[in-house]
Structure 1
Amino acid sequence: MNLKQVSTILFFTILSAISLFASGNKEEGVIMFAGSGGYPPFNFITESNEVDGFDVDVAKEIAKRLDLELEYVTTAWDGIIEGLRASRYNGILGSMAVTEEREKIVDFTTPYYYSGAQIITKKDSNIKSLEDIDETTTIAVVTGTTFVKDVDALGANVRMYEDDNQTLMELLNGRVDAVITDRVVGLNAMKQIKGGEDLKLTGELLRKEECAIALKKGDDLLDEINKILMDMRGDGTLKKISNKWFEGSDITVP
């Protein structure tokens, strides 16, 4: 074997090791879940630069019951499914809604919580109901979310941003007329961000959503995690985590 052949083998060995480490591996005692990191209170970056939230606590409990160490990574939402398919992480545990389109390319666990799409406006907005939204209305949503289709259905103009910190600040600054996001996210933002007291939920839920964990097609983790979620629901752990983050409300039941 010559030096060139040795170098080639060494290169691909190192590359394979890096790929294995990056994707998380049960044999190595690590499981990696991903979220956007910009979706409080579900998953967000704290002042100490750590990721926290409802999704993260659910991920920690699943990793614990699998007897694995959790590594929770953050990545841009609009490329998060492609990251999963490229094995950069084991699953997406970041408040991803189940849709027929997504089910064609990933496998979903049973839902771990339920919510819905909500319109948020400023309190002094002229938008009082869905009937006040038309082609002159500009609505902000996060890129790659199901909320883009809600804007299209309303016949309004869509403006897309990286996360809901940006969409809501754009609303407060008067650059957009409304935001569509998860109802719980909106309620949390109204309490947490500066100027949140000037926002309001407008109208009823546009639709309900089931949020689940996305895995690669055919991943044998699916059955294991479904069993864990069933156990967590049965022993009250999911409810306990929900109560912690949502002031005693249980979003884990339909």
Structure 2
Amino acid sequence: MKTLLRCLAVCAATLYLLSLCACSEQKQDALSRIKETKTISFAMSGGYPPFNFYNSDNQLVGFDVDVAKEVAKRLGVEFKPVTTEWSGIIEGLRSGAYDGILGSMAVTEQRLKVVNFSTPYYYSGAQLVVRKGSSYAKPADMKGKTIGVVTGTTFADDATKLGAGDVKLYKDDTQTLMELSNGVVDGVITDRVVGVNAMNSGKFNIALLGSPLRSESIAVAFRKGEEPLLNKVNDILSDMHEDGTLSEFSIKWLKTDITVQ
């Protein structure tokens, strides 16, 4: 009887070890899978000009898009763009819907708790935008006013710090700036470059109010535990900084170099 029990225990242990081996073999790190499938997917909102947006031919273009394409090229794979609402973009990454977020995401302590970030590929800041000709003279004048921001961005915190009476949330900055132009909100907080680009486009009746509220480092987000992919992309971004590729893309889309502090 003891011999039988001993045999059963050995068999059970063997099956358990085999199952562990099978699980470890099935789990493949993102970088290996990307090289195997020859495709890398990066998510962005698709509504954040001039960084990522759809042009008149319904093509996804912009600074982020060019950076994503170049990263994929240097990895030796194809770039697969994924456009999704910003409010759920991190959860989409964590669930495995795409390989990374390359869509002008600012590095914050809160986000670092759930995702890893690459080294920054550009630097910018939070900017308050108001209707052209409004009576507001400084950001502090927005106390008690209605401010629009994109859902899931860090700009909602800026609006709260300014003492906004109401913070309205929108899908993207095309909506926030249109609502501002139409008088639905008193101000909008967005990326400074986005504000400058929108103002110069002539599509919106807006003006910048004051200096940037704060500075931000913008980087690529990856799932926790995907260090091989993170390290490889960091190497690529470092090369792109050094050889001037990032500066070239920045000047192409923004008429200035925002890739250096």
Q: Normalised by the shorter chain, which TM-score bucket?
A: 0.7 to 0.9
CA distance in 1, matches of 2:97, 2:177: 30
Q: Which amino acid aligns with 1:234?
A: E
Give 1:181-200 correspondences, 5 Å limit.
Answer: 181-194=190-203, 196=204, 198-200=205-207
2:10 aligns to what?
none
> Which residue of 132, 145, 158 maps to 2:153?
145
SS in 2 for 1:205: coil
Gaps of 5+ in 2: 1-25, 27-32
Give 1:72-111 correspondences, 5 Å limit.
Answer: 72-111=81-120
> Which residue of 229, 238, 243 maps to 2:246?
238
With normalisation by structure 1, the TM-score equals 0.87
| 1:126 and 1:132 in contact (8 A); partners too | no
SS in 2 for 1:25: helix
Confirm or deny that 1:252 pairs with 2:259: yes
Give 1:117-132 correspondences, 5 Å limit.
Answer: 117-132=126-141
Deviation by residue 1:1-58 (Cα, 9 ceiling, x = unmatched): xxxxxxxxxxxxxxx9xxxxxxx83311000001000000000012222211000000
Deviation by residue 1:69-105 (Cα, 9 ceiling, x = unmatched): 0011100000000000011100000000000000000
SS in 2 for 1:165: helix
Q: Which amino acid aligns with 1:216?
A: R
> Which residue of 211, 217, 239 maps to 2:218?
211
1:7 aligns to what?
none
Deviation by residue 1:118-162 (Cα, 9 ceiling, x = unmatched): 000112212110231212x00000000000000111110200100
CA distance in 2, matches of 1:121, 1:231: 39
| 2:43 and 2:100 in contact (8 A); partners too | yes
| 2:116 and 2:224 in contact (8 A); partners too | yes
| 2:34 and 2:77 in contact (8 A); partners too | no
Q: Which amino acid aligns with 2:186?
A: D
Q: Which amino acid aligns with 2:59?
A: E
Give 1:210-229 correspondences, 5 Å limit.
Answer: 210-219=217-226, 220-229=228-237
Which has the larger Rg? 2
| 2:47 and 2:172 in contact (8 A); partners too | yes
Confirm or deny that 1:168 pairs with 2:177: yes
Q: Report runs of 4+ in structure 1 exceeding 4 Å deviation.
A: none
1:11 aligns to what?
none
CA distance in 1, matches of 2:35, 2:187: 43
SS in 1 for 2:213: strand
Gaps of 5+ in 1: 1-15, 17-23
Q: Which amino acid aligns with 2:123?
A: Y
1:193 Cα shift? 4.9
1:65 Cα shift? 0.3
Work out the number of aligned pairs and report it. 228
Deviation by residue 1:153-204 (Cα, 9 ceiling, x = unmatched): 111020010000000000000111000000000111112252x3x3110011
SS in 1 for 2:211: strand
Q: Which amino acid aligns with 1:56?
A: V
Percent identity reads: 58
**Cα RMSD between the aligned structures?**
1.3
Confirm or deny that 1:66 pairs with 2:75: yes
